[in-house]
């Protein structure tokens, strides 16, 4: 195939996706209305775009950002801070805030995201939750379904303080947890345990559907602002939303006992966080369309993808299975060369803090590590899966599809 045919091939793929794109547009419109209403109800004004320094007392902008988040998540309170370094940090703060020595924490989506191994103590660490006397238990998914029997057995045999549910698949091959499945398991848990705190790791799932976890019964929901809700505008930060008393505990854990949400200078964050949230429904829709196009095109080229183009999406991450180390590396190189920043740089596999195997990452992003921007990564282990996500606009995503398809053809790498 020459370049012209490749462009035609990608346009042909796009033509087949009208129905999927229509549904993505509907969700984006719905979430835009939700965001705008939250801005209106919170009376966001120009003054709120300013930030504070030092202690961060009387930070009306920061308080308003949190008010808007609270309304978007339809819950009692929110903590949205630049002092939360990342999603991992926000999850760490939330778990540390909920758990006391002797308490039991239970993950019902199997082993959590790799960067939490040392936080929990699955990989021993002197500062882990386990080192503080917290007990950790885990129930794996079975064929992508919650193992309700095993969960019930634990809940009925002992007092569990915190249940964690990770929606997005992380570096695994399981399916991500859609909002209906989440709603169902939460209501099932409530049948046997009214007390247990249910926390949801919502990374990559925000605005992918009509509802957020706090709307279907979660007590706490956690996510990163260099993913969906930052929309590429926020240059750091994370959020925790949920029940008022729990958010208070999180704020005391993050900041200072006794000062909770009252402190924490926002610097230049208020404007970025508001702008990011405002743009997020549309940016998430660009990511979803990009992933749908990649899914369709890579499947046509013979690769196993998940989710397939016509499956309901629970997050913005696409798995492409290469079953070959060199193809995975080539794919990441092609994504890197499609970026605006560092397009001339060749990604190479390397060790990463918090990860087991070597990882290759393509992230030519405006914000370091931002994965709402076009990016892809994959651990160098069987079956050599690339985890692709993002694109701030659909056009840049489509250009990346064209580049990937043409690179794979040009260099004859399809047949390696
Ligand atoms: C990205 C991610 C995290 C961690 O977020 P960081 O901001 O990268 O620390 C946690 N859980 C899931 C499911 C994620 O996708």
Centre of ligand 1 to C-alpha 360, Å, is 16
Q: In order of start, what are the domains of the chain with their CATH numbers?
A: 3-30+281-410 (3.90.1150.60), 35-277 (3.40.640.10)
204 lines ligand 1 (CB under 6 A): yes
Residue 25 in tokens = 């547009």
Pairing mode, if any, of strands 104-107 and 162-166? Answer: parallel
Distance from the CA of 25 to the center of ligand 1, in angstroms?
26
213 Cβ contact partners less than 8 Å away, ≥ 6 residues apart: 167, 179, 182, 200, 202, 221
Mutate to test the pocket of ligand 1, among 93, 95, 113 (most ligand atoms within 8 A of CB): 113
SS3 label, residue 392: coil
Could you give the CA distance from residue 303 to residue 378 in angstroms, rounded to a whole number? 16
Task: Report the alpha-carbon distance of residue 203 to residue 152 in Å, rounded.
Answer: 26
CA-to-CA dists, residue 297 to 304, 305, 358, angstroms: 11, 10, 27
pLDDT of residue 357: 84
Query: 203 CB under 6 A from ligand 1?
Result: yes
Q: Which residues contact 188 (CB under 8 A, 6 or more apart)?
A: 146, 148, 151
- CA distance linking residue 25 with residue 20, whole number of Å: 9
Between the CA of 73 and the centroid of ligand 1 the distance, in Å, is 19
CA of 88 to the centre of ligand 1 (A): 6
What is d(CA 91, CA 77) in angstroms, rounded to the nearest whole number?
16
* Other CB atoms within 10 A of residue 319 CB: 23
In angstroms, the CA 291 to CA 272 distance is 25
Residue 362 Cα distances to 18, 259, 325, angstroms: 29, 40, 15
Site to probe by mutation for ligand 1, drawn from 91, 203, 314, 379 as the one with most ligand atoms within 8 Å of Cβ, is 203
The CA-CA-CA angle for residues 166, 174, 363, to 5°, reads 75
CA dihedral 58, 63, 65, 69 (to 10 degrees): 170
- Read off the pLDDT of residues 295-330 as tens digits, 9 standing for 90 and up: 999 999 999 999 999 999 999 999 999 999 999 999
pLDDT in tens, the chain (416 residues): 677 889 999 999 999 999 999 999 999 999 999 999 999 999 999 999 999 999 999 999 999 999 999 999 999 999 999 999 999 999 999 999 999 999 999 999 999 998 999 999 999 999 999 999 999 999 999 999 999 999 999 999 999 999 999 999 998 889 999 999 999 999 999 999 999 999 999 999 999 999 999 999 999 999 999 999 999 999 999 999 999 999 999 999 999 999 999 999 999 999 999 999 999 999 999 999 999 999 999 999 999 999 999 999 999 999 999 999 999 999 999 999 999 999 999 999 998 876 678 999 999 999 999 999 999 999 999 999 999 999 999 999 999 999 999 987 765 544 43
Rounded Cα distance between 366 and 283, Å, is 15
pLDDT of the residue at 416: 39
Compute φ and ψ for 280, nearest 5 degrees: -55, -45
Residue 304 is encoded by which pair of tokens? 């196993």
pLDDT at 308: 98
Q: How far is the CA of 160 from the centre of ligand 1 (A)?
A: 24
Task: Write down the H helix ranges in 53-123.
Answer: 60-72, 87-98, 117-120
- Report the C-alpha gap between 62 and 216 in whole angstroms: 26
Alpha carbons 113 and 35: distance in angstroms, whole number: 29
Residue with tokens 């990463």: 352
310 Cβ neighbours under 8 A, 6+ residues apart: 19, 20
Per DSSP, what are the bridge partners of residue 240? 79, 222
Atom number of ligand 1 nearest to Cα 167: 13
Tokens 């002092």 map to which residue? Answer: 83
pLDDT at 377: 92
Q: Which residues contact 184 (CB under 8 A, 6 or more apart)?
A: none
Distance CA 33, CA 42 (A): 14
């Amino acid at each position: 195939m020459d370049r012209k045919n490749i462009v035609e091939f990608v346009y042909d793929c796009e033509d087949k996706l009208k129905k999927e794109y229509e549904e993505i547009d509907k969700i984006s419109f719905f979430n835009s209305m939700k965001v705008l209403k939250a801005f209106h109800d919170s009376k966001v004004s120009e003054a709120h775009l300013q930030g504070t320094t030092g202690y961060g007392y009387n930070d009306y902008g920061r308080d308003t950002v949190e008010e808007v988040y609270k309304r978007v998540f339809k819950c009692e309170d929110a903590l949205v801070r630049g002092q939360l370094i990342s999603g991992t940090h926000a999850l760490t703060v939330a778990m540390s805030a909920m758990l006391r020595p002797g308490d039991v924490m239970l993950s019902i989506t199997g082993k959590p995201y790799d960067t939490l191994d040392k936080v929990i103590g699955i990989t021993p660490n002197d500062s882990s939750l386990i080192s503080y006397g917290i007990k950790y238990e885990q129930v794996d998914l079975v064929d992508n379904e919650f193992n309700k029997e095993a969960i019930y057995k634990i809940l009925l045999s002992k007092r569990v303080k915190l249940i964690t549910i990770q929606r997005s698949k992380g570096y695994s091959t399981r399916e991500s947890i859609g909002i209906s499945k989440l709603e169902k398991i939460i209501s099932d848990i409530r049948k046997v345990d009214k007390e247990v705190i249910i926390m949801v790791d919502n990374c990559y799932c925000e605005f992918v559907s009509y509802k957020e976890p706090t709307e279907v019964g979660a007590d706490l929901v956690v996510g990163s602002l260099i993913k969906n809700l930052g929309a590429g505008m926020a240059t750091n930060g994370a959020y925790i939303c949920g029940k008022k008393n729990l958010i208070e505990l999180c704020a005391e854990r993050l900041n200072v006992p006794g000062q909770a949400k009252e402190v924490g200078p926002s610097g230049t964050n208020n404007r970025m966080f508001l702008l990011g949230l405002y743009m997020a429904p549309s940016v998430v829709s660009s990511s979803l369309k990009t992933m749908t196009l990649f899914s369709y095109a890579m499947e046509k080229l013979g690769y196993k993808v998940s989710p397939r183009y016509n499956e309901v999406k629970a997050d913005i991450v696409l798995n492409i299975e290469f079953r070959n180390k060199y193809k995975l590396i080539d794919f990441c190189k092609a994504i890197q060369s499609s970026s605006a920043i560092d397009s001339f740089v060749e990604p190479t596999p390397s060790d990463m803090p918090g990860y087991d195997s070597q990882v290759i990452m393509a992230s030519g992003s405006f914000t370091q590590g931002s994965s709402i921007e076009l990016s892809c990564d994959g651990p160098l282990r069987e079956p050599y899966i690339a985890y692709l996500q993002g694109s701030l606009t659909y056009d840049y995503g489509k250009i990346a599809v064209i580049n990937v398809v043409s690179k794979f053809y040009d260099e004859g790498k399809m047949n390696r």
